[in-house]
Amino acid sequence: MSTAHEPTSHSPLLGVSHAWANMAGARWMLWLLVAAWFLEPALSAPYFVGKAQDWAYFNQHATSAWLSWTVYGQLPQWEPFSCGGLPAIGNLQGTPVGLTQLLAALFGLMPGQRIASFIFIVLGMEGGFRYARHRGAHGFGAITAGLLFGLSGRFVQLFHDGQPVFLSFELTPWALLCLEKGWRQWRYAVVGSLVMALLLLEGGAVPTPLVSVLLGFVALLRTAVVVVRRDPDDEAWWRPVATLALMAALTLGLTLWRVIPVAESLIAHPRVWHGEDTYSIGHVINMVFRRGARQGYTADGSSLVGMGAALLFSVALLARDKRAPWLLALTLACLDLATGRSEGIGLFPILKSLPVLENLRNPFRFGIFAGFFVAVGAGIGISVIEEHIVAALRAKMAHRWAAIVAGLATVVIAAAPAWQVAEFGHDRLQKVFIRQAPRHVIRPFRQSIGNRWVADVWPAQHRGSLSCFEEQPFFQAAGLRADRPHEEFLVDPEAGVAERSSWSPHRIVVDVQLKRPTRLLVNQNHHRAWGSDVGSVVRHEGHISKEPRIIGKKDGKGLIGIDLPAGKHRIELTFSDPWILFGLAVALLTLGLMAGLTWRHRATLRARP
């Protein structure tokens, strides 16, 4: 495998193509214009969503987090609007923090989500360009690789499926680039940890484990190449795995405040997947290379980079370009992984046998990575064609004119596959945004029966939905009730009176006047992080006076309870998870360490003659 190279000032490749691609301003302007055109159906309808159920599901979590941030000014540790109350940061499926929530807080929930989608598409194109250039593509070849990946079919399919939270897959080239450059310079591992931290915070349930698997596979494959080849120009054999370990350690330090609650909830309520995902190799190939009219998770074109990209990749292979075999090996491995347990080498069953990875699901998503490596290979193929055109023309005309003609020819060659993917995705987005998102109303919070199929309606109306749909079997108290007269009430109503003074997702204030000791109940699920300034918080397991018993259940089982003494009290019930506070402290220390490493590296560079 060859390491990447940049054309030098003496290279015949320098010309219109290479010079234009290296103009950062022009290149970013291209990304911005293409992304604006590509996402026009989404950007022009910011308050409309799709009909897929996951639109409602993810918007329910996003709305809850947005309310905590913007209306109440609180870090969304707890989500009272779903299933009677869930740990927000501890829910791997939720998106309480990250770039999208920051933009939602600044620009509004739905516009912020659209702006985040736009940014991720742009980052995907620039990341694809940079990785292709790192792998040896140049000029319009690297530009084409960026377009093919950033606009590939899976990112369009995410909008159809109601899963734009997984657009953090667009960060894949950045993570790979940092890993591979980190083999020779440690500072890239620091940047890579920031990329992986953002990826985890944005859409942790799906992109994080899959991108992590890809990074691990690349590091192990590179280690094997270094050991077998024994080239003195290669890095030390242990550097790939060591770089990966450093990235993982720094990422863990940055995100421990989310990782600990997530790990706790997964241990208590395992997210088990019993399905057998199997796809034929032909099915996977059609997903990546064939345009199809049918929509669906695994329909033809759902991970499209197109046959044009495959043909350009084959040019690099047929020309025996030394940069192509590495990409071919990774492409074949990802295609095999995407088949699941169906056929091929069987890499996916090996992954499923490893700790933590046993619940990997939907292996077809590895097609994203297969398409990415094909896009990079297509970029190299275009570069090979340009090199041959320049070489053929140099005998007939001046180098400058040869480079100009080669650049124009390359644009024509590259336009067809890039347009095939972009036009297919743009047309498919036209059919997505058909349901108006619910309007927000701020009023006193109450639990309602809800409806899982339109789950985003309830937090927008400041109502909790007890109709629960979660892929993790989170605890849901048997004592939860919809439409109670009061959300905070006494087990024994004759012991006194209780009246809510103020409410927020993480702080509930109740005024009580009691003739004798009793227990105050809150119509939410109990969690260890709830605490009270008066009395002690317990998990209620008994029945409730003056309420009919439900067959097979105890009326109040699992609710938040506060044992109170007699007298007049103002009770302040707060949710504060010490593990989150500990993780945030570790994140600050990790940021300090990373800043120190960066400063030391810059000082070392300045000290060199």
What is the arithmetic mean of pLDDT over 297-302? 89
Question: Coil, helix or strand for 553?
Answer: strand
Residue 579 token pair: 């593990």
Is the distance from CB of 465 to CB of 450 less than 8 angstroms?
A: yes
DSSP state of 69: I
**pLDDT tier, 10 (very low <50, low <70, confident <90, very high otherwise):** very low
Q: Check pLDDT > 70 for residue 545.
A: no
Angle between helices 239-268 and 207-229 (to 10 degrees): 150
pLDDT of residue 234: 85
Q: Check pLDDT > 90 for residue 312.
A: yes
Is the distance from CB of 3 to CB of 323 less than 8 angstroms?
A: no
Is the distance from CB of 581 to CB of 545 less than 8 angstroms?
A: no
CA-angle at 188, arms to 187 and 189, nearest 5° = 90
Query: In 3D, which of 118, 226, 102, 131 has the Cα closest to residue 164?
Result: 118
Q: Check pLDDT > 70 for residue 398.
A: no
CA separation for the pair 198, 241 (Å, rounded):
21
Q: For residue 489, which phi and psi values (nearest 5 degrees)?
A: -150, 165
CA-angle at 109, arms to 107 and 112, nearest 5° = 50
β-sheet bridge partners, residue 508: 503, 573
Question: What does the longest C-alpha to C-alpha distance in the chain come to?
Answer: 103
What is the arithmetic mean of pLDDT over 463-474? 90
CA separation for the pair 14, 21 (Å, rounded):
11
What is the arithmetic mean of pLDDT over 298-317? 93
What is the arithmetic mean of pLDDT over 227-236? 87
- Express as a percent the part of the chain with pLDDT over 70: 92
Place of tokens 């989310």: 258
DSSP state of 273: -
Is the distance from CB of 436 to CB of 167 less than 8 angstroms?
A: no
pLDDT of residue 585: 96
Q: Check pLDDT > 90 for residue 601.
A: no
Residue 93 token pair: 């499926």
pTM for the whole thing?
Answer: 0.91
What is the arithmetic mean of pLDDT over 278-294? 89
Contacts of 434 (CB under 8 A, 6+ apart): 48, 50, 51
pLDDT tens, residue by residue, 114-129: 999 999 999 999 999 9
Question: Coil, helix or strand for 465?
Answer: strand
Strands 488-490 and 518-525: antiparallel
Q: Check pLDDT > 70 for residue 261.
A: yes
Which amino acid appears at position 231 of this protein?
A: D
Please give the sequence-ordered ranges of beta strands (E in DSSP) within 517-582, or none if there are none: 518-525, 530-532, 536-539, 559-564, 567-575
CA separation for the pair 305, 301 (Å, rounded):
8
Contacts of 557 (CB under 8 A, 6+ apart): 477, 478, 479, 540, 541, 542
Residue 369 token pair: 């990575």
pLDDT of residue 272: 74
Which amino acid appears at position 108 of this protein?
A: G
Mean pLDDT of the chain: 88
Q: How many CB atoms lie within 10 A of CB 250?
A: 23
Query: In 3D, which of 425, 510, 501, 346 has the Cα closest to residue 167?
Result: 425
What is the arithmetic mean of pLDDT over 537-547? 77
CA-angle at 202, arms to 197 and 208, nearest 5° = 60
Is the distance from CB of 185 to CB of 149 less than 8 angstroms?
A: no
pLDDT of residue 501: 95
Say if residue 281 is exposed, middle or buried (CB neighbours under 10 Å; 0-12, 13-18, 19+).
Answer: middle
pLDDT of residue 16: 67
pLDDT of residue 414: 85
Task: Tell me how far the alpha carbon of residue 593 is from its chain's centroid.
Answer: 25
Q: Check pLDDT > 80 for residue 475.
A: yes
What is the arithmetic mean of pLDDT over 451-457? 91
Which amino acid appears at position 144 of this protein?
A: T
Q: Check pLDDT > 70 for residue 15.
A: no
pLDDT of residue 205: 80
pLDDT of residue 203: 73
What is the arithmetic mean of pLDDT over 259-263? 93
Q: Check pLDDT > 70 for residue 130.
A: yes
Say if residue 320 is exposed, middle or buried (CB neighbours under 10 Å; 0-12, 13-18, 19+).
Answer: exposed
pLDDT of residue 320: 85
Which amino acid appears at position 120 of this protein?
A: F
pLDDT of residue 1: 40
Contacts of 405 (CB under 8 A, 6+ apart): 389, 393, 397
CA separation for the pair 285, 301 (Å, rounded):
9
What is the arithmetic mean of pLDDT over 368-379? 96
Q: Check pLDDT > 60 for residue 6.
A: no
pLDDT of residue 275: 65
Q: For residue 340, which phi and psi values (nearest 5 degrees)?
A: 70, -125
Strand order in the sheet with 496-504: 496-504, 507-514, 567-575, 530-532
- Express as a percent the part of the chain with pLDDT over 90: 67
Rg (CA), the chain: 27
C-alpha dihedral sign at 93, 213, 186, 583: positive
User: 362 or 9, which is more confident?
Assistant: 362
pLDDT tens, residue by residue, 179-223: 999 998 888 999 999 999 999 998 778 899 999 999 999 999 999
pLDDT of residue 549: 45
pLDDT of residue 591: 93
DSSP state of 168: G
